[in-house]
Amino acid sequence: MSLSKLKYSFKEAKKNVIRNGLMSVASLFTIASCLLILGVFTLLSLNVNHITQQIKDQCEIQLYINTEATDERVAQIGEEIKSVENVKEISLFTKEDTLAYAKADMFDGNEGMLEGFDEDNPFSDSYKIVLHDIELTTETVTELEKIVDVDKVVNKQDVVNTVVSLSGGVKKFTIAMMLVLLLVAIVIISNTVKLTVFNRRKEINIMKYIGATDRFIRIPFVLEGLIIGFSSAVIAFLLVFWGYFALVSYIGEKLNFGVVELIGAGQVAPMIAVLFVVFGSLIGVVGSAISMRKHLHV
């Protein structure tokens, strides 16, 4: 298509958007609302995955050793732990370390309650263990429990399983919502273009009569849908980005737990922008194409 024909098509598309008035505005904000909801669920899914990974990284195994074990045996157990295939790294916490932690954190201001524990320490030595693959926690725990002089092995596999299950559920729900919202938006833009086709049916018949090609007639309507879809994407992106930026800032200032954190607004902005532009433009083009095929007999 020549540049002059393309300019004509854009000009006609802009006229169609303005001519339809309220219908165009209604379509624009309805599609923007669909994209807004899509953005919210996308951000939810991304953050659930992000938090899941953080919890996995923080989810460690604690192996407690019998109090009768000697320091030499404790060191030997450490070497045996390292030989277990799924073990990534280990850290030794002696009974003295545990007592010091109890005094400083658990009994701060009431250290007298632990009087005498320095001479007769009731705590046991333990190893904090980080795994390569948290999904293999159960198998790794079984191997660790076979080591002689191991009292017990404590893990948080239930927490990991719950978080992983939640992450999978959110992913599936997000995909389902994406498909539903895409269908709704396509129907809306299709109705908008259908209205334009109906209002200009006489003009279209004249253009066809004088030899205008199907492509030449269709392009302005497709561009009309593209303009509405792209404009909706811009509006939805600005609202989502501003809202998410405000949320991340608020949580960072007021609710900073120091355990898990959300993905930064700057990190997700490019992804959301591309997602909205692609979906908005796709909705506009597909909706227009469907309407043209059903209601424009050229």
Q: Give the number of other CB atoms < 10 A from CB of residue 110.
A: 9
**Average pLDDT for the chain:** 78
Residue 11: what pLDDT?
77
Strands (E), 36-193: 61-65, 87-93, 126-131, 150-154
In this structure, the answer to whether residues 179 and 134 fall within a common structural domain is: no
Q: 229-278, pLDDT tens digit by residue?
A: 888 899 999 999 999 998 888 887 766 555 567 888 888 899 999 988 88
Residue 297: what pLDDT?
55
Q: Which residues, including other chains, have CB under 8 Å from residue 238's CB and lie 6 or more apart?
A: none
In this structure, the answer to whether residues 170 and 126 fall within a common structural domain is: no
User: What's the CATH code of the domain at 140?
Assistant: 3.30.70.3040
The answer on pLDDT for 291 being more than 70 is: no
In this structure, the answer to whether residues 121 and 241 fall within a common structural domain is: no
Domain that holds residue 109: 60-155
In this structure, the answer to whether residues 84 and 12 fall within a common structural domain is: no
| Domain stops at, among 125, 155, 185 | 155
Q: Which of 25, 12, 31 is nearest to 283 (CA)?
A: 31
Q: Give the number of other CB atoms < 10 A from CB of residue 175.
A: 12
In this structure, the answer to whether residues 192 and 291 fall within a common structural domain is: yes
In this structure, the answer to whether residues 172 and 47 fall within a common structural domain is: yes
Could you tell me the pLDDT band of residue 58, with boundaries at 50, 70 and 90?
low
Highest-confidence segment of 65-79, 104-118, 244-258, 279-293: 65-79
The total number of structural domains in the chain stands at: 2
| Domain stops at, among 89, 121, 155 | 155
47, two tokens: 């953050």
pTM for this prediction: 0.63
In this structure, the answer to whether residues 92 and 210 fall within a common structural domain is: no
The answer on pLDDT for 227 being more than 80 is: yes
In this structure, the answer to whether residues 182 and 248 fall within a common structural domain is: yes
| Domain stops at, among 112, 131, 155 | 155
Q: 159-168, pLDDT tens digit by residue?
A: 667 767 777 7
Average pLDDT over residues 195-215: 70
In this structure, the answer to whether residues 77 and 148 fall within a common structural domain is: yes
